[in-house]
């Protein structure tokens, strides 16, 4: 098996995903031989084992597959959305929806990716932005 | 040789629980040992008779070494298959294979957790792309499965509440259950939402506690203290690890493993007298009953309504009160085996299902990631 030659030597699939986000691009792995998109980033595609995965830029548009509101007291930051989005390219991502109230997020809602720094999780208050989503069609603006 | 050759090739002969609810000052291994100290004499055996060990916690990298060392057992065979809360049902299958192969004679399956005291799940390894979004528990994943089930099939919060109310009614009949106060559907609906659409009372307890089961060969089982409870069939299925990789939020791997387990046991849903289903959340019971074929996909909410799975209902489910009202020390799987075995022994007291011959114990791991169905039977079924 010939593994793909990475344009970023010494950086694995996951590291490349984060590097693309730092450059402002949402890139998802794609296999030319099978036509499938793969997320999360891997060395080979699940199921097919395709070893020609390459990062390609995607539309960032998707649909809410499911969503919940994590209930928290206001003193601990208040309610927060957690959602799962089906990207139009066919991969499913866990995420949070921003720029709208948690109770406005609903299954079937069209959303668009936004790359932003966050104050929660692994990359809280760091230089590493992550993928969030906002209602599709919303005018560009500051991420709340 | 097929999997069918395992039917009836092991029996559960010893049961023990310890420190259920709150057990101040005791470690997870203490709780495991307390349960073992009850299960071994329950079988009419001594520690020195144990030559196989299965177990695992969310905190021990080398669980069978820790258990063996603590108890002073040097097992000839051990297994710590880790699939989350379903692990212990998988262990029953592994133990059956090991006993049938002659690698050991008598296996201890043991678990302990001081989750309530620790105040955290303490899982060593959380999925990368869940940590990124600040997820620290399985709660939001299950909530999103429930939300999707409501969206696709019209399942209601009232129907999910039926599961919690039935569990509480069963718990009221079990002397060791944690939660016994009367509970109504209105109470569940009025309890605070923790992750929509799940309220606090749709969620399992957070308990301390230990559990232990002794498994041996059918020949040896016949000479021991209680009526043997036979392994008739068992199968697991794993489809994912993290929430975003669940292929369908409304169907669990139970749809794959339950038919395999039923086939190995030579039974159908019509033969089942009582079920113990890992109810981490109320939606779990609804989806498991659908996926096992007790009703059609999407009809689980209506199926559990009207007290069908409660005391006096047509299909008894979680007769100890389940993880919702009995106890839930982080991983509940072993408790499904214990209650199934109590029912088949005929020792379940006020909650006994008269004439129970076939029982299902079903474990769930991570977020509908791994499921394991075990079919157990009384002597009349072997």
Chain B: residue whose CA lies nearest to A121: B134
Chain B: residue whose CA lies nearest to A64: B148
In 3-state terms, what secondary structure has residue A18? Answer: helix
CB contact under 8 A, B128 and A65: no
CB contact under 8 A, B129 and A84: no
Residue A116 burial (CB < 10 Å; 0-12/13-18/19+)?
middle
Give contacts of B196 with chain A, Cβ < 8 Å.
Answer: 68-69, 71
Ordered per-residue pLDDT tens for chain A, 144 residues: 455 555 567 899 999 999 999 999 999 999 999 999 999 999 999 999 999 999 999 999 999 999 999 999 988 889 999 999 999 999 999 999 999 999 999 999 999 999 999 999 999 999 999 999 999 987 655 454
| pLDDT, tens digit, 9 for 90 and up, residues B134-164 | 998 899 999 999 999 999 999 999 999 999 9
Of A14, A68, A96, the CB nearest to B147: A68
Cα distances (angstroms) measured from residue A29 to each of A26, A89, B215, B351:
10, 11, 47, 54
| pLDDT, tens digit, 9 for 90 and up, residues A32-43 | 999 999 999 999
CB contact under 8 A, A68 and B245: no
Q: What is the pLDDT of residue B362?
A: 98
Q: With 90 as the cut, is the pLDDT of residue B382 above it? A: yes
| CB contact B131 to A (< 8 Å) | yes
In 3-state terms, what secondary structure has residue A84? Answer: strand
Q: What is the pLDDT of residue B124?
A: 75
Min Cα distance A6 → chain B (Å) is 22
Share of chain B above pLDDT 70, in %: 99
Among A127, A121, A140, which Cα is nearest to A22's? A127
Q: Token pair 């063996």 is at which residue?
A: B68
Residue in B244, B247, B249, B283 to test binding to A, most A beta-carbons within 10 Å:
B244
| pLDDT, tens digit, 9 for 90 and up, residues B262-313 | 999 999 999 999 999 999 999 999 999 999 999 999 999 999 999 999 999 9
Chain A: residue whose CA lies nearest to B128: A122
Q: What is the pLDDT of residue A139?
A: 64
Local confidence band at B1 (pLDDT 50, 70, 90 cut-offs): very low
Which contiguous run of DSSP H or E holds residue A17? helix A13-22
Of A40, A69, A71, the CB nearest to B129: A40
More confident site: B31 or A4: B31
| CB contact B132 to A (< 8 Å) | yes
Q: With 50 as the cut, is the pLDDT of residue B344 above it? A: yes
| pLDDT, tens digit, 9 for 90 and up, residues B73-88 | 999 999 999 999 999 9
In 3-state terms, what secondary structure has residue A74? Answer: helix
């Amino acid at each position: 098996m010939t593994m793909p030659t990475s344009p970023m030597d010494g950086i694995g699939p996951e590291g490349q995903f984060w590097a693309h986000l730092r450059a402002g691009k949402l890139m998802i792995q794609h296999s030319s031989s099978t036509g499938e998109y793969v997320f999360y980033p891997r060395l080979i595609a699940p199921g097919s084992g395709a070893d020609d995965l390459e990062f390609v830029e995607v539309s960032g548009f998707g649909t809410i597959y499911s969503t919940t509101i994590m209930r928290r007291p206001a003193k601990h930051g208040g309610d927060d959305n957690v959602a799962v989005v089906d990207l139009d390219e066919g991969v499913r991502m866990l995420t949070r929806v921003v720029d709208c109230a948690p109770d406005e997020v609903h299954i079937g809602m069209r959303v668009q990716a936004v790359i932003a720094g966050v104050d929660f999780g692994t990359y809280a208050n760091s230089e590493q932005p992550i993928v969030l989503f906002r209602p599709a069609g919303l005018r560009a603006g500051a991420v709340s | 040789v097929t999997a069918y050759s395992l039917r009836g090739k092991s029996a559960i002969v010893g049961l023990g629980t310890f420190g259920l609810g709150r057990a101040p000052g005791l470690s997870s291994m203490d709780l495991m040992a307390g349960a073992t100290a009850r299960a071994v004499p329950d079988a009419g055996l001594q520690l020195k008779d144990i030559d196989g060990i299965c177990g695992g916690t969310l905190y021990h990298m080398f669980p069978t070494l820790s258990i063996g060392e603590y108890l002073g057992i040097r097992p000839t065979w051990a297994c710590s298959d880790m699939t989350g809360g379903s692990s212990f049902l998988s262990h029953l299958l592994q133990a059956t294979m090991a006993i049938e192969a002659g690698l050991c004679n008598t296996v201890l399956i043991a678990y302990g957790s001081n989750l309530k005291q620790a105040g955290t799940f303490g899982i060593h390894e959380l999925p990368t792309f869940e940590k990124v979004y600040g997820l620290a528990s399985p709660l939001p994943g299950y909530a999103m499965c429930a939300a999707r089930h409501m969206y696709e099939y019209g399942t209601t919060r009232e129907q999910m509440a039926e599961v919690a109310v039935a569990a509480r009614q069963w718990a009221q009949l079990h002397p060791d259950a944690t939660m016994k106060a009367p509970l109504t559907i209105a109470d569940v609906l009025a309890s605070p939402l923790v992750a929509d659409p799940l309220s606090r009372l749709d969620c399992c307890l957070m308990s301390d506690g230990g559990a232990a089961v002794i498994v041996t060969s059918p020949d040896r089982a016949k000479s021991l203290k209680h009526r043997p409870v036979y392994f008739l069939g068992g199968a697991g299925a794993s489809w994912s690890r993290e929430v975003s990789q669940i292929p369908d939020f409304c169907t669990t791997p139970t749809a794959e493993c339950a038919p395999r387990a039923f086939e190995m046991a030579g039974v159908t849903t019509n033969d089942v007298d009582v079920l113990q289903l890992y109810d981490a959340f109320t939606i779990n019971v609804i989806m498991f009953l659908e996926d096992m074929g007790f009703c059609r996909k999407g009809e689980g909410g209506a199926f559990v309504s009207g007290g069908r799975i409660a005391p006096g209902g047509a299909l008894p489910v979680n007769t100890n009160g389940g993880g919702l009202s009995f106890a839930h020390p982080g991983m509940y799987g072993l408790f499904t085996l214990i209650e199934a075995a109590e029912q088949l022994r005929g020792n379940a007291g006020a909650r006994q299902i008269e004439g129970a011959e076939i029982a299902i114990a079903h474990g769930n791991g991570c977020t509908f990631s791994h499921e394991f169905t075990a079919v157990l039977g009384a002597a009349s079924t072997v």
